Structure 1
Amino acid sequence: MADTDPSPAASVLEKLKSYVRTRKGSILAVEIVLSFIIIICFAASAYGGYSALAICEMIFAIIFFVIFMMDFDKQIQFINWTWTDLFRAGIGAVLYIATSLFCVIGGSGDGARIAGGVFGLIAGILFGYDAYTVFQDIKNTRGRSAASTDDRV
């Protein structure tokens, strides 16, 4: 007898496929992949300590990916997930750009460090774009909710 109900793993896989096709899902997926590449580059470098930033940002991106993919942001209402995501992306952009510039400028003779810095600059731009899109969503949502419905005007 065949089970007609899809298994929980199949529904998670379908949520994953559909979420990666969205703009936010694809941005978070690329952030995760770029952070992983940066971890590999910095781990191969003589200065492996720079990989801590990439590890933290990758973990945060994975957490937010899972939260948004599984719609936990709609179930856990006591945290403002939009603002939290804006701070995550904004801080990640600033830290990636600063660290990557330092690695690219001072990384002579260490190709892995320079490669990590270049990928870090790309990640910093991507995180900045993510922060910009989240900020635009906040701005558009605030403009709609702040509209006056008073008939006396």
Structure 2
Amino acid sequence: MGDIEAPERNRSQEAGVRSLLPSKEFISSRKGLLLIGEVVLSFISFVCFAASTAAAFVTAPFIEFLAALVLLFAYSTKFNERFKGFHWPLMDFLRCVSASIIFFIISIISVSKYLDGASKAAGVFGFTATVLFALDFYFIFNELANFLKGGDSSEPPNTQDDDSDSD
């Protein structure tokens, strides 16, 4: 009887691990690719700032890395659908806007003020992260605007007036 329980336990453990991993559909989606890019660029920028003389700016990329990692986990495991306590798109929008502004500012400072190569590399990766975060908040803004309009662009517009008497 002990031999039968072991495979069942292994299957349940595998199912538990699989529920924590992102799905292939999400990873190949636009949002999944943007979040993965944000995580990677934030981490690279963090490492470059840590190795440079501009190490005072290391906190911003680290916080953005953690925030992007949390949202990647939340969206990929559909945690955002199970926990309705936050308005996830608005929270993601504010994260992307603040990240793009912060990365732009620290990248300008690191490229212009510091002379070592690691600071220059951190600035270049920071500018790339700025573009990626800005692209993400542009897409989120469009989705939020469509949501606030209350319409879906896939529906055909109603061309007939409600006051018409035609049958």
TM bracket (short chain): 0.7 to 0.9
Aligned-partner Cα distance in 2 for 1:123–1:58: 11
Aligned residue in 2 for 1:96: 103
Aligned-partner Cα distance in 2 for 1:99–1:46: 13
Aligned residue in 2 for 1:7: 15
Q: Secondary structure at the match of 2:84?
A: coil
Which residue, out of 59, 66, 78, partners 1:71?
78
Q: Which runs of 4+ in 1 moved over 6 A?
A: none
- Name whichever of 59-68 and 17-26 sits farther off: 17-26
TM-score (norm 2): 0.80
Structure 1 residue 70, shift from structure 2 partner: 1.5
Aligned residue in 2 for 1:27: 34
Structure 1 residue 107, shift from structure 2 partner: 1.9
Gaps of 5+ in 2: 153-160
Structure 1 residue 102, shift from structure 2 partner: 1.0
Identity %: 29
Residues 53, 114 of structure 2: 8 Å contact kept: no
Larger Rg: 2
Structure 1 residue 96, shift from structure 2 partner: 0.3
Gaps of 5+ in 1: none
**Cα gap change, 1:79/1:10 in structure 2, threshold over 3 Å: closer, same or farther?**
closer
1:120 equivalenced with 2:117 (yes/no): no
Which amino acid in 2 is paired with 1:143? K
Aligned residue in 1 for 2:143: 137
Which residue, out of 52, 72, 96, partners 2:59?
52
Aligned-partner Cα distance in 1 for 2:133–2:16: 32
TM-score (norm 1): 0.86
Which amino acid in 2 is paired with 1:105? S
Structure 1 residue 141, shift from structure 2 partner: 1.7
Length, aligned pairs only: 149
